[in-house]
């Protein structure tokens, strides 16, 4: 398979790039899944500079920019180690114009190269986000459970917790 994308480890200097991608992707993808008020609330609380910097430094979250062959930033993934050989994907977003082209699957393959020791990878995804849930099924994730998270401001995330396990 010809390599169409790369992952580049994001640094603090890349926070504005992550923020720009998040705002563009969220406003294109989430209307109809969650309210505009919840989108604005989550972007404000999850993607402000201090929060992202704290995640990158104090929390040990690694951010990866997904770059096209032309070196254009088209998405990002963030990962945190939970235990030995166990990771959690906090964020996995690809520009809506790039979706449906196999880029997400290739990005996940590249991610596995960086976390070669991973035996299990978990993530959460909104239960109404059918497109993303189906994508995660396609790359080998399975639903472990439903979970509702109170995120403040009167908002909840109604998610599936999904898990990928490396084949034995």
- pLDDT tens readout for residues 108-167: 999 999 999 999 999 999 999 999 999 999 999 999 999 999 999 999 999 999 999 998
**Is the pLDDT reported for residue 79 higher than 70?**
yes
**Which CA distances in Å does 27 have to 42, 95, 99, 108, 155?**
11, 11, 15, 23, 17
**Which CA distances in Å does 64 have to 50, 107, 110, 157?**
18, 10, 10, 24
> pTM for this one?
0.94
Q: CA 101: distance to chain centroid?
A: 17
Region 5-165: CATH code: 3.40.630.30
Least confident segment among 9-13, 97-101, 102-106, 136-140: 97-101
Rounded to the nearest 10 degrees, what angle do helices 103-114 and 130-138 cross at? 50
**Is the pLDDT reported for residue 3 higher than 90?**
no
Provide the pLDDT for residue 2. 65
Phi/psi region, residue 153 (left: phi>0; alpha: psi -120 to 50; beta: rest), is left
**Is the pLDDT reported for residue 8 higher than 90?**
yes
- Strand order of the β-sheet with 62-68 is 5-9, 62-68, 73-83, 86-94, 120-126, 155-165, 142-152
């Amino acid at each position: 398979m010809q390599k169409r994308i790369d992952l580049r480890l994001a640094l603090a200097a890349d926070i504005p790039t992550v923020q720009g991608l998040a705002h563009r992707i969220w406003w294109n993808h989430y209307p109809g899944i969650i309210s505009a008020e919840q989108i604005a609330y989550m972007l404000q609380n999850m993607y402000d500079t201090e929060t992202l910097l704290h995640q990158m430094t104090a929390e040990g979250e690694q951010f990866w920019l997904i770059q096209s062959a032309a070196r254009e930033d088209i998405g990002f993934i963030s990962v945190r180690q939970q235990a030995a050989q166990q990771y959690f994907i906090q964020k996995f977003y690809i520009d809506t114009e790039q979706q449906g082209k196999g880029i997400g699957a290739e990005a996940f393959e590249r991610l596995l190269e960086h976390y070669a020791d991973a035996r299990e990878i978990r993530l959460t995804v909104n239960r109404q986000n059918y497109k993303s849930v189906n994508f995660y099924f396609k790359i080998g994730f399975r639903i472990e459970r439903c979970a509702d998270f109170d995120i403040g401001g009167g908002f909840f995330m109604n998610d599936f917790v999904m898990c990928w396990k490396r084949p034995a």
